[in-house]
Amino acid sequence: MSSELKTNKISPATGTTTTLGDASDVFQLPASGEIDVASGATLDVNGTLDVTGATVTGLTTGSFVKITTQTINSEVSALTFTDVFSSTYESYLIVVAGLAVSNNGMQIRMYLGTSDLSTTRTIGWQMSEHEYNSRYSRGSASADYYVFVNDTDNSIISGPACGQIWVHKPTDSVTATKMTSHFESYCNGSGNTYAYQVAGGQVTSATEDVSFKFVSQTANLGDTGMTGRVTVFGVAH
């Protein structure tokens, strides 16, 4: 049995398909090896394309690349995402579905900062809240956090919050990190109504922000009766 095959071309003996090995076999490229798909050719992947640990470059303009996701179906003090922002992307989209608070949550806040979040940023933010027949406006010129959900009735956010947060240039040391968001939630206080909330904010000085976490103002995040999900996407411009 030969341990090495040297040839300039492999072609099928019959038909048009050549099979490499058998099920569960592994074919490995050595360091600096490359598979070059010529212009006009197609790399057809019907199984799983696993790029864990890989550096992905040359994506089509406007592509969304999933970086990570977390599910939550129990009460936790914080939902933390470490080292999710990098210089690979200028913009990130955080999609939130079914994020609940345990009791009298008041606000859901976003903290930005260093890798382990031992240092978090000062943020100026402004929010506009809309209910069926009421509007509210609140904000801060200098807070330790960014608010993307607020309970307008100072009661319980009984329905899970759903929405998205855009984060712009978080690792640019020259440009301050910016956030914009749009969320829908339900407040069962005096208004008993659905509300949507739009907000925007900016770190007060240019910093390199690589991690973030969500924290409720006075309660825990999560509910054993439902599953929430937070997913982070990088946007390739």
Q: Is the pLDDT score of 52 beyond 90?
A: no
CB count within 10 Å of CB 156 equals 18
- Cβ atoms within 10 A of the Cβ of 116, count? 11
Domains of the chain: 63-236 (2.60.120)
| Full-model pTM | 0.74
Tell me the mean pLDDT in the region 42-49. Answer: 83
Which pLDDT belongs to residue 156?
A: 45
Report the mean per-residue pLDDT for the chain. Answer: 86
Q: What is the pLDDT of residues 95-130, one digit of tens each?
A: 999 888 877 656 899 999 999 999 999 999 999 988
Q: In this predicted model, which residue has the larger pLDDT, 46 or 118?
A: 118
Q: Kindly tell me if the per-residue pLDDT of 155 is higher than 50.
A: no
- Mean pLDDT of all residues in 147-168: 76
Q: Say which residue, 2 or 168, is predicted with more confidence.
A: 168
- Rounded average pLDDT over 10-27: 90
The pLDDT of residue 144 is 95
Furthest C-alpha separation in the chain: 81
Mind listing the pLDDT tens digit for each residue in 178-234? 999 999 876 555 555 667 889 999 999 999 999 999 999 888 898 888 889 999 999
E-assigned strand segments in the chain: 63-72, 79-81, 91-99, 107-113, 123-130, 135-143, 146-150, 157-168, 178-187, 193-203, 211-216, 228-236
Structural tokens at position 68 = 């990570």
Local confidence band at 3 (pLDDT 50, 70, 90 cut-offs): confident
Per-residue confidence (pLDDT) for residue 151, from 0 to 100: 67
pLDDT tier for residue 60 given thresholds of 50, 70 and 90: low
Residue written as token pair 């240019």 = 206
